[in-house]
C-alpha cells in the first residue's frame, strides 16, 4: 500500500535572496516570501490532504498562509538539513574560504557533511522513518535540501552531479510513500494556482 505525498519548499527569505545556506538557522520569511505564500492556492486534490510542516518558522509560516487554510501538524523530521558551521555563508564564499577541502566535500554527494552538520544520507534516514508512519494523503511544507534528499531516495540519484530533473521551488513535488519508508516519484513541478486579488 502506498500513500500520496506532495512536498512544497517554503516561500522566500532574505537569505534565499542572498543565496546563503540556511540549514537550521531559523530565518523568517521576507516580505516577498509572505506575499508569495499568501498568493499560493493548492490544487485539488492536494488542497484536501492532511498538512505537515517543518518546525522552522519559514516553513510554518508558509503552511499557515496557504489557501485554502487548514490545520498543520509540525514534524521535526521535516526540518532542514543542518549545514553546521557553514550556515549563513554562500557556496561561493565557502569555495574561496575553505578552498579544496570544501570542493572535496561537495564531491561526496550523499555523504557531503559540513563540520558539525548533517549529511543528505542522514536526512534520508530520518525521512524514511517519518514516511513509514503516513496513513493518509499528505502535503508537507519543508526545505530545499530535504526535497533533494527525497528525490535521491525516489530515483537513486547519488548527488555527485546535477539532479536528473530541474525542480521549480515554487511548485509541488509529488511522490508515493510506502509503508516501509520507500518512495516513488509521481509528478514534479505541479503548479500552484494564484489566488484572485493577490
Q: For each of the chain's 198 residues, which pLDDT tens digit applies?
A: 899 999 999 999 999 999 999 999 999 999 999 999 999 999 999 999 999 999 999 999 999 999 999 999 999 999 999 999 999 999 999 999 999 999 999 999 999 999 999 999 999 999 999 999 999 999 999 999 999 999 999 999 999 999 999 999 999 999 999 999 999 999 999 999 887 655
With vertex at residue 161, the alpha carbon angle to CA 102 and CA 22, rounded to the nearest 5 degrees, is: 50
CATH class of 2-194: alpha beta
Domain boundaries, the chain: 2-194
- CA dist., res. 122 & res. 165, Å (int): 22
What does pTM read for this prediction? 0.95
Residues 6+ apart with CB under 8 A from 42: 66, 67, 68, 139, 172, 192, 193
Amino acid at each position: 500500500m502506498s500513500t500520496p505525498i506532495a512536498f512544497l519548499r517554503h516561500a522566500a527569505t532574505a537569505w534565499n535572496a542572498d543565496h546563503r545556506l540556511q540549514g537550521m538557522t531559523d530565518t523568517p520569511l521576507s516580505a516577498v516570501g509572505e506575499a508569495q505564500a499568501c498568493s499560493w492556492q493548492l490544487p485539488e486534490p492536494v488542497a484536501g490532504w492532511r498538512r505537515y510542516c517543518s518546525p522552522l518558522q519559514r516553513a510554518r509560516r508558509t503552511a499557515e498562509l496557504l489557501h485554502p487554510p487548514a490545520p498543520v501538524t509540525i514534524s521535526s523530521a521535516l526540518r532542514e538539513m543542518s549545514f553546521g558551521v557553514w550556515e549563513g555563508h554562500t557556496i561561493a564564499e565557502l569555495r574561496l574560504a575553505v578552498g579544496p577541502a570544501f570542493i572535496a566535500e561537495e564531491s561526496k554527494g550523499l555523504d557531503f557533511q559540513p563540520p558539525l552538520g548533517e549529511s543528505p544520507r542522514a536526512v534520508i534516514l530520518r525521512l524514511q522513518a517519518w514516511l513509514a508512519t503516513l496513513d493518509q494523503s499528505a502535503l508537507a511544507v519543508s526545505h530545499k535540501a530535504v526535497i533533494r534528499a527525497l528525490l535521491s531516495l525516489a530515483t537513486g540519484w547519488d548527488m555527485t552531479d546535477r539532479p536528473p530533473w530541474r525542480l521549480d521551488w515554487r511548485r509541488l513535488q509529488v511522490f508515493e510513500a510506502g509503508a516501509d519508508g520507500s518512495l516513488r516519484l509521481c509528478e514534479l513541478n505541479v503548479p500552484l494556482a494564484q489566488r484572485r486579488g493577490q
